[in-house]
Structure 1
Amino acid sequence: MAHIKKEFLIDNSPENVWEVLRDVGAVHQRLVPGFVTDTRMEADTRIVTFANGVVVHELIVDIDDAARRVAYAVVAGSMTPKHHHASMQILADSEGHSRFVWTIDVTPDELAFSIDEMAEQGSRIMRETLKTSPGPAGR
């Protein structure tokens, strides 16, 4: 099983960043605009369309307000690994900024390179999008 981890600092409060991350149905508008072009919810499953045409169905496993953590698993779509589980968590640093931690476990290992590339692109956009205070939900 491949393990991918992206960790970076954001010049914004953990409360502001969490408010965006926990809005799991609006990642195309609030978290990674342009990288994700559409998101829609069907019960506890998020259907995500990426700019490269990949569509995945992600089961939202948990939204933990106390831990500021979202966990999800890819369960269907145009790129369906045997196993794909991920979590994103917002931690406070000593300066009042946010530490964003994104971990992904995936099989087969052959998918790790392409998923890592997508996670790197997404991380770059998140850092830019989240460095300013978020607007109201659904902006």
Structure 2
Amino acid sequence: MAHIHKEFLIDNSPQTVWEALREVGAVHQRLVPGFVTDTRMETDTRIVTFANGVVVHELIVDIDDAARRVAYAVVGGSMKPKHHHASMQVLSDTEGRSRFVWTIDVTPDELADPISEMAEQGARIMQETLKATPVPTDR
């Protein structure tokens, strides 16, 4: 099983970043606009469409407000891992910023490189989208 770990700083408060992350049905608007082009919820499963055409169905396993953590598992779509579980967590940094921790476990191992590359792209876009400016909403 491959393990992917991305950890990075976001120049914004943990509360603001958490508010964007916990809105699991708005990934394409709140976290990674352009990289993800559409997100929709079907009960507890989120359907995510990426700009590269990949579509994944992610079971939302947990949204933990106290820990500021979302956990999900890929359960369908065009990418067919044998196993894929991930979590994203927002932690406080000493300078008022957010430390974002993204952990992904996936099999088969051949999917590690493409998923890691997508996570790297997503991390860069999140940092830019969420930097100390108001997070866009459609409300």
Smaller-chain TM-score range? over 0.9
Offset of 1:99 from its aligned partner? Answer: 0.1
What secondary structure is seen at the aligned counterpart in 2 of 1:25? Answer: helix
**Structure 2: where are the runs of 5+ without partners?**
none
Using the alignment, how far apart are the partners of 1:56 and 1:134 within structure 2? 28
The count of aligned residue pairs is: 139
Give the letter for the 1:91 counterpart: L
Match of 1:127 in 2: 127
Match of 2:53 in 1: 53
Give the letter for the 1:9 counterpart: L
Match of 1:33 in 2: 33
Residues 29, 137 of structure 2: 8 Å contact kept? no
Residues 16, 135 of structure 2: 8 Å contact kept? no
What secondary structure is seen at the aligned counterpart in 1 of 2:16? Answer: helix
Paired-residue identity, % = 84
Using the alignment, how far apart are the partners of 2:12 and 2:96 within structure 1? 8
Using the alignment, how far apart are the partners of 2:111 and 2:138 within structure 1? 32
Residues 12, 97 of structure 1: 8 Å contact kept? yes
Match of 2:138 in 1: 138
Offset of 1:95 from its aligned partner? Answer: 1.2
Residues 30, 138 of structure 1: 8 Å contact kept? no
Give the letter for the 1:34 counterpart: G
Using the alignment, how far apart are the partners of 1:134 and 1:42 within structure 2? 28
After TM superposition, the structure 1 = structure 2 runs for residues 15-34 of structure 1, keeping only pairs within 5 Å, are 15-34=15-34
**Structure 1: where are the runs of 5+ without partners?**
none
What secondary structure is seen at the aligned counterpart in 2 of 1:106? Answer: strand
Offset of 1:93 from its aligned partner? Answer: 1.1
- Deviation per residue, 1:37-86 (Å, 9 max, x gap): 00000000000000000000000000000000000000000002000000
What secondary structure is seen at the aligned counterpart in 2 of 1:73? Answer: strand
After TM superposition, the runs of 4+ consecutive aligned structure 1 residues lying more than 6 A away are none
Match of 2:79 in 1: 79
Offset of 1:132 from its aligned partner? Answer: 2.6
Match of 1:12 in 2: 12
- Deviation per residue, 1:69-120 (Å, 9 max, x gap): 0000000000020000000000001111100000000000010000001001
